[in-house]
Amino acid sequence: MTISWYRAATLPRRVAVLSVHTSPLEQPGTGDAGGMNVYITQTAVEMARRGVSVEVFTRATSSDQPPIAELAPGVLVRHIPAGPFEPLERGELPAQLCAFTSGVLRTEAFHEPGYYDLIHSHYWLSGQVGWLARDRWGVPLVHTAHTWAKVKNAALADGDSPEPRTRVIGEEQVVAEADRLVVNTDVEASQLIDLYDADPDAVSTVSPGVDLERFRPGSRERARDVFGLPRDAVVLAFAGRIQPLKAPDVLLRAAAELLHRDPTLRERLVVLVAGGPSGTGLEQPQALKELADTLGIADLTRFLPPQAGDALVDVYRAADVVAVPSYNESFGLVALEAQACGTPVVAAEVGGLPVAVNHGLSGLLVPSHRAQDWAGALEEVALNPGRHAELSRGALSHASRFAWQRSTDALLDAYAEATSAFQQAALGVAV
């Protein structure tokens, strides 16, 4: 792997990664685990391969968890006791930040000064901890929010709860204190600058990636056999957390609309939903199944628990199209993973999805959440063999541009820039 001279000159020896509310060891697709977990895991492993040690600090949720676990060679996960040994809702976590911060600082205190060269915090809760650790350790702070309260509140799903003012204030504080702010897309960079008054010179765009060795084309027939799906079925799939923000209900309503347009499709249509309730979705964990029944498609809908590893690959391979109907996505890793398997994606035209999906070439973007519009897009992709084959080829080509190795290169460049800015600020040099 070629490393630029600038990055090599400032390559950190050891990075402290802060992930208060979710662990990279957790299964994405349920609870608070999702794309952020994948991001942390993949970039940490890639950095370790380059000789950078990574230690991930996360809140312990069980007394059975070991204090330290090895995620991969060169990557440790530290479980910090903070509050009860059980999962907590995000709204309960700010009260545990003092205890978590104490645990992080205590860990560093057992080592010689300068043990960590840089802090990378993920999500605003971690940013609050990182801000304090930065001042105590005298090292740069890099922050990735993954989602922003002001952006989410501007695109709420019907019935979803807005993010609290506490989070907005917390994010504003982290934006003001971080030495580098890493965002997924240029759209997110603009939002950060416009809504949070971030310094444009302190913002770095680093697109997430996809594991191209795991997510790749394979036998559709074999994948359908795994789930007991008819080989000649028309399969529409959703993979992710079941919550209003992710909008799996949009796919169900669109499927019902397709049947309204062509009742004969009932003989072949299957809606595959893989994921578990999360966030505000926990308030009505059966709501999606009840909606399928109300729409008259319960017999066509298959609900699977969150799928890991090769099982998730099989979900993508089994599908004719993967739907990503979210109301907001800072990027959309599911869209990339599906395309890397050669499956076209129909996604909402929001957030970073216009980057994750190349409209008209690797899939389609829908500018609304109306069932009629989604039914039309799904129909074009799933029921038109020629168009499907064309988009499948485009999906593979598009996804190939987003390897995690490339993301990690860009992230290490952001680390180098943060280190340089921090050092110059410490010397009183104008940046």
Question: Binding site annotation covers 337?
Answer: yes
pLDDT at residue 55 in the model: 98
**How would DSSP label each residue in 362-423?**
TEEEESS--HHHHHHHHHHHHS-HHHHHHHHHHHHHHHTT-BHHHHHHHHHHHHHHHHHHHH
Question: What is the predicted pLDDT for the residue at 27?
Answer: 66
Q: Is 301 within any annotated ligand binding site?
A: no
Region 307-332: mean pLDDT is 94
Q: At residue 74, does pLDDT exceed 80?
A: yes
172 is in an annotated binding site: no
Same fold, 5-209+404-430 and 220-399: yes
SS3 category, 86: coil
Pair type for strands 68-72 and 75-80: antiparallel
Mean pLDDT on 52-73: 95
**Domains of the chain, residue spans:** 5-209+404-430, 220-399
Q: How confident is the model at residue 8 (pLDDT cuts 50, 70, 90)?
A: low
DSSP string over 197-229: ---GGGEEE----B-TTTS----HHHHHHHHT-
Q: 80: which strand partners?
A: 59
* 6 is annotated as contributing to ligand binding: no
Compute the distance between CA of residue 243 and CA of residue 291 in angstroms, rounded to an integer: 13
Q: Strand 363-366 vs strand 301-304: parallel, antiparallel, or unpaired?
A: unpaired
In this prediction, residue 276 carries a pLDDT of: 84
Determine phi and psi for 396, rounding to 5 degrees: -60, -45
115 is in an annotated binding site: no
Place of tokens 């890099």: 142
pLDDT digit string, tens, across residues 233-248: 999 999 998 989 899 9
164-200 confidence digits (pLDDT tens): 999 999 999 999 999 999 999 999 999 999 999 999 9
Which of 24-28, 96-100, 224-228, 374-378 shows the lowest mean pLDDT across its residues?
Answer: 24-28
With left for phi above 0 and alpha for psi between -120 and 50, is residue 120 left, alpha or beta?
beta
Q: Is 261 annotated as a binding residue?
A: no
Contact in structure between 352 and 204 (CB atoms under 8 Å): no
Q: What is the DSSP letter of 331?
A: S
Contact (Cβ atoms closer than 8 angstroms) between residue 177 and residue 304: no
For helices 123-137 and 97-109, the axis angle rounded to 10 degrees is: 40
pLDDT at 281: 44
Would you say 398 is a known binding-site residue? no
415 labeled binding residue: no
Three-state secondary structure call for residue 163: coil
pLDDT at 205 over 80: yes
- CATH fold, domain 5-209+404-430, is Rossmann fold (3.40.50)
For the chain, the straight-line distance linking the first and the last C-alpha, in angstroms and rounded, comes to: 30
The DSSP bridge partners found for residue 364 are 346
Nearest to 125 by CA among 150, 151, 143: 143
Q: Measured in whole angstroms, how far is the alpha carbon of residue 344 from the centre of its chain?
A: 19
Residue 270 reports pLDDT greater than 60: yes
Computed over its alpha carbons, how large is the radius of gyration of the chain?
A: 22
Could you tell me the pLDDT band of residue 33, with boundaries at 50, 70 and 90?
A: low
The fold for domain 220-399 equals Rossmann fold (3.40.50)
Average pLDDT, integer, range 211-235: 96
Q: Residue 32, annotated ligand binder?
A: yes
Mean of pLDDT over the chain: 92
On whether 377 is known to bind a ligand per the annotation, the reply is no
Evaluate the CA torsion angle 306, 307, 313, 314 in order and state its sign.
Answer: negative
> Is 290 assigned to a binding site?
no
Q: Out of 15-24, 25-34, 48-57, 327-336, pick the least confident.
A: 25-34
310 marked as part of a ligand binding site: no
Q: What pTM does this model have? A: 0.89
Polymer length of the chain? 431
Burial of 129 (0-12, 13-18, 19+ CB in 10 A): buried
- Is 222 flagged in the annotation as binding? no
For residue 176, the one-letter residue type is A
Average pLDDT over residues 410-430: 85
Report whether 135 belongs to an annotated binding site.
Answer: no
* Cβ contact 233:266 at 8 Å: no
Q: Is 39 annotated as a binding residue?
A: no
| Best-predicted range by mean pLDDT (26-30, 266-270, 279-283, 420-424) | 266-270
Q: Does the pLDDT at position 41 exceed 50?
A: yes
Return the number of other C-beta atoms located less than 10 Å from residue 326's C-beta.
27
pLDDT (tens digit per residue) in 122-153: 999 999 999 999 999 999 999 999 989 999 89
Task: Provide the 3-class DSSP secondary structure of residue 400.
Answer: coil
**163 assigned ligand-binding residue:** no
pLDDT at 155: 80
Question: Strand pairing of 321-324 and 345-348?
Answer: parallel
**pLDDT tens track for 342-358:** 999 999 999 999 999 99
- The verdict on whether residue 43 carries a ligand-binding annotation is no
Q: What pLDDT was estimated at residue 248?
A: 96
pLDDT at res. 4: 53
Is 359 within any annotated ligand binding site?
A: no
Q: What is the mean pLDDT of residues 106-110?
A: 95
Q: Report the distance separating Cα 431 and Cα 414, nearest Å.
A: 15
**79 a known binding residue?**
no
Q: For residue 272, what pLDDT band results from cuts at 50, 70 and 90?
A: very high
